[in-house]
């Protein structure tokens, strides 16, 4: 098959491209390199079936050409990372809403099945954990820019399901929960690569807030396997799925674990949210996915645990 990946030079997109190429598919990728990197895909150029366009999904003429050429679409292009979204709110909203609408409209025009990458952020400040797909979103004050991401991605979901309902175009929505792995950058607020880099360099490991907030971290290989299986099962069309790992760890515990695994001399420093992100930043204490739905539909369960995943990331950073 010929498969289009938007955000194909991104962290997750590059892993997905590699898996699809290994299985004998051709891959078309597009990325504007706002958060993606050419280094992520340099190893893919050995595949004759791989091609990449460095451009934006807002280029509708190019997108139409690429959608017309492909058989299915994985729409991963998005503004990502808390820091990036807070620093670039307008670009984030435009990319996540207008860009997704273009891709969905073209997918519908040519009848291409499409997976929309969404996020655990859509649950907002909902305190009911674990999160089930049908749970409510609780969104904060509009002057706090981090919530613009949650709203934009929720609108993406509404758009996708509207195309499924009215145009009958095959759509699957996957909500990612803290996907991690080698090649991921900590540049945009991702905590695991930031901690690993600080620990290896014996720099202070900077924990934002009191470190008691808990998260679930999932390995990129498990996530890629999950979205490929979702797209291969027509029973998943028109559905929303949590995708990740449901094992929790506090950010404080994560810092100590990474320090121990790297034999680091780094001190652990606590930084206020105000100093890290500016006035009025809000964070959630827990983000835990209920994985029962995706397990029921495709038998999904994560295979790589946190310790193994951290080992792979640490090895990559040291190299």
Q: Which residues of 43-82 are buried (b: 16+ CB within 10 A; e: fewer)?
A: ebeebeebbbbeebbebeeebeebbeebebbbbbbbbbbb
Cα–Cα distance for residue pair 221/305, rounded to 1 Å: 11
For residue 211, give every residue at least 6 positions away whose Cβ sits within 8 Å of its Cβ, in sequence order, or none. 250, 251, 252, 253, 255, 270
Could you confirm whether domain 2-180+217-246+286-303 is CATH 3.40.50.720? yes
- pTM, full prediction: 0.95
Below-50 pLDDT ranges, the chain: none
Strand partners, 239: 172
Cα–Cα distance for residue pair 137/123, rounded to 1 Å: 4
Model pLDDT for residues 206-249, shown as the tens digit of each residue: 999 999 999 999 999 999 999 999 999 999 999 999 999 999 99
Closest CA to 62 of 46, 33, 118, 70: 70
Cα–Cα distance for residue pair 270/272, rounded to 1 Å: 7
pLDDT computed for residue 82 by the predictor: 74
| 123 in catalytic set | no
For residues 201 and 267, the answer to whether their CB atoms sit within 8 Å is no
- Residue of 74, 84, 123, 149 marked active site: 149
pLDDT computed for residue 188 by the predictor: 66
């Amino acid at each position: 098959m010929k498969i289009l990946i938007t955000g194909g030079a991104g962290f997750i997109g590059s892993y997905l491209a590699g898996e699809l190429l290994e299985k004998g598919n051709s891959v078309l990728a597009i990325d504007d390199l706002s958060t993606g990197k050419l280094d992520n895909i340099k190893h893919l150029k050995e595949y004759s079936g791989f091609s990449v366009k460095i451009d934006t999904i807002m280029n509708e003429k190019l997108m139409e050409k690429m959608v017309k050429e492909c058989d299915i679409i994985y729409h991963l292009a998005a503004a990502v990372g808390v820091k990036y979204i807070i620093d670039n709110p307008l670009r984030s909203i435009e990319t996540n809403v207008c860009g997704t609408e273009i891709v969905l409209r073209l997918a519908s025009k040519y009848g291409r099945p499409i997976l929309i990458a969404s996020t655990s952020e859509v649950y907002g400040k909902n305190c009911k954990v674990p999160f089930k797909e049908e749970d409510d979103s609780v969104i904060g004050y509009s002057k706090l820019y981090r919530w613009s991401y949650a709203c934009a991605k929720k609108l993406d979901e509404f758009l996708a399901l509207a195309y499924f309902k009215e145009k009958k175009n095959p759509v699957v929505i996957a909500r990612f929960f803290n996907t991690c792995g080698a090649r991921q950058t900590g540049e945009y607020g991702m905590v695991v690569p930031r901690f690993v880099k600080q620990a290896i360099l014996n720099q202070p490991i900077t924990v934002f807030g009191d470190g008691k907030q808990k998260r679930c971290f999932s390995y990129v290989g498990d996530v890629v396997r999950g979205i490929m299986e979702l797209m291969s099962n027509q029973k998943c069309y028109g559905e929303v799925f949590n995708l990740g790992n449901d094992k929790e760890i506090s950010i404080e515990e994560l810092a100590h674990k990474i320090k121990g695994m790297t034999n680091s001399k780094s001190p652990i420093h606590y930084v206020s949210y105000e100093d890290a992100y500016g006035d009025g930043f809000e964070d959630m204490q827990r983000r835990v996915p209920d994985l029962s739905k995706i397990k029921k539909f495709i038998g999904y369960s994560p295979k790589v645990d946190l310790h193994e995943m951290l080992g792979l990331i640490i090895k990559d950073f040291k190299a």
